């Protein structure tokens, strides 16, 4: 959401979790796009898990459209009010995080020359998880059917029950 309250929505596969205490997640914008520009001003954003059922809508939100275009409307997704930040959440997404920006870092190459890419880090200040995905207090990734961007042209992968295996970390 920008300073004027206009919504913005886009997929970011250069994304990860980076810290568990406090919970810090981040994503990288290749180019100064609407999402990073909005976060730079408002210091807030919302992350929504992309799942198989909303993958086409997620893809639609990546269209290069003018700043004024609300990608929620473009993709037919529903706005859900957040608890602690102004940007809306995606109602159709079963896992959403409300985030407060902690750092905005411009990347640089091996010679220290700044490149047109910015990492946005945010502390997760509110977590929303659909209760159907939690059993005995544990969140089950596969039940959400999240999607991942693969290589190639338009290739994606879906996480489902058969893709899960267990492994214990060494002491
Ligand atoms: C699956 C998918 C993942 C993407 N991941 C990124 C990414 O990590 N970083 C990036 O800069 N653009 C990424 N893009 C492209 C942006 O979503 C696209 O440029 C979008 O228009 C940016 O919207 P914004 O200007 O509203 O932020 C991705 C596109 C798709 C379809």
With a CB cutoff of 8 Å and minimum separation 6, the contacts of 43 are 100, 101
Predicted confidence (pLDDT) at residue 125 exceeds the cutoff of 90: yes
Alpha carbon separation from 91 to 63, 72, 102, 129 (Å, rounded): 20, 10, 25, 11
Above pLDDT 90, what percent of the chain? 98
Structure tokens at 119: 């990492």
Which atom in ligand 1 lies closest to the alpha carbon of residue 117? 11
d(CA 144, CA 156): 15
Question: What pLDDT is attached to residue 50?
Answer: 98
> Over the stretch 19-46, which tens digit does the pLDDT of each residue have?
999 999 999 999 999 999 999 999 999 9
> Over the stretch 94-116, which tens digit does the pLDDT of each residue have?
999 999 999 999 999 999 999 99
Which atom in ligand 1 lies closest to the alpha carbon of residue 8? 26
The residue whose C-alpha atom lies closest to atom 13 belonging to ligand 1 is: 12
Q: Is the CB of 96 under 6 A from ligand 1?
A: no
pTM for the model stands at 0.96
d(CA 162, CA 155): 19
Which atom in ligand 1 lies closest to the alpha carbon of residue 33? 25
Q: Is the CB of 35 under 6 A from ligand 1?
A: yes
Domains and CATH numbers, the chain: 15-134 (2.30.110.10)
* Ligand 1 midpoint to CA 114 (Å): 20
The residue whose C-alpha atom lies closest to atom 23 belonging to ligand 1 is: 10
Query: 87, exposed or middle or buried, with CB in 10 Å at 0-12, 13-18, 19+?
Result: buried
d(CA 38, CA 5): 10
Quick one: average pLDDT of 67-83? 97
Predicted confidence (pLDDT) at residue 151 exceeds the cutoff of 90: no
Q: Which of 84, 54, 57 is nearest to 72 (CA)?
A: 57
* Ligand 1 midpoint to CA 171 (Å): 39
Structure tokens at 79: 């706005």
Quick one: average pLDDT of 127-156? 95
Q: Which of 129, 77, 100 is nearest to 26 (CA)?
A: 100
Q: Is the CB of 38 under 6 A from ligand 1?
A: no
């Amino acid at each position: 959401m920008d300073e004027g309250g206009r919504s913005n929505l886009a997929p970011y596969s250069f994304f990860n979790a980076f810290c568990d205490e406090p919970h810090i997640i981040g994503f990288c914008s290749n180019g100064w796009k609407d999402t990073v520009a909005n976060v730079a001003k408002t210091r807030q954003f919302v992350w929504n898990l992309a799942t198989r059922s909303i993958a086409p809508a997620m893809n639609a939100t990546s269209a290069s459209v003018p700043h004024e275009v609300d990608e929620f409307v473009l993709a037919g997704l529903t706005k859900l009010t957040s608890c602690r930040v102004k940007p809306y959440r995606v109602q159709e997404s079963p896992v959403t995080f409300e985030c407060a920006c902690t750092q905005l870092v411009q990347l640089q190459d091996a010679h220290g020359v700044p490149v047109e890419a910015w990492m946005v880090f945010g502390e997760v200040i509110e977590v929303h998880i659909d209760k159907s995905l939690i059993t005995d207090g544990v969140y089950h990734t596969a039940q959400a059917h999240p999607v991942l961007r693969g290589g190639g042209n338009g290739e994606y992968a879906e996480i489902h029950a058969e893709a899960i295996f267990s492994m214990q970390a060494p002491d």
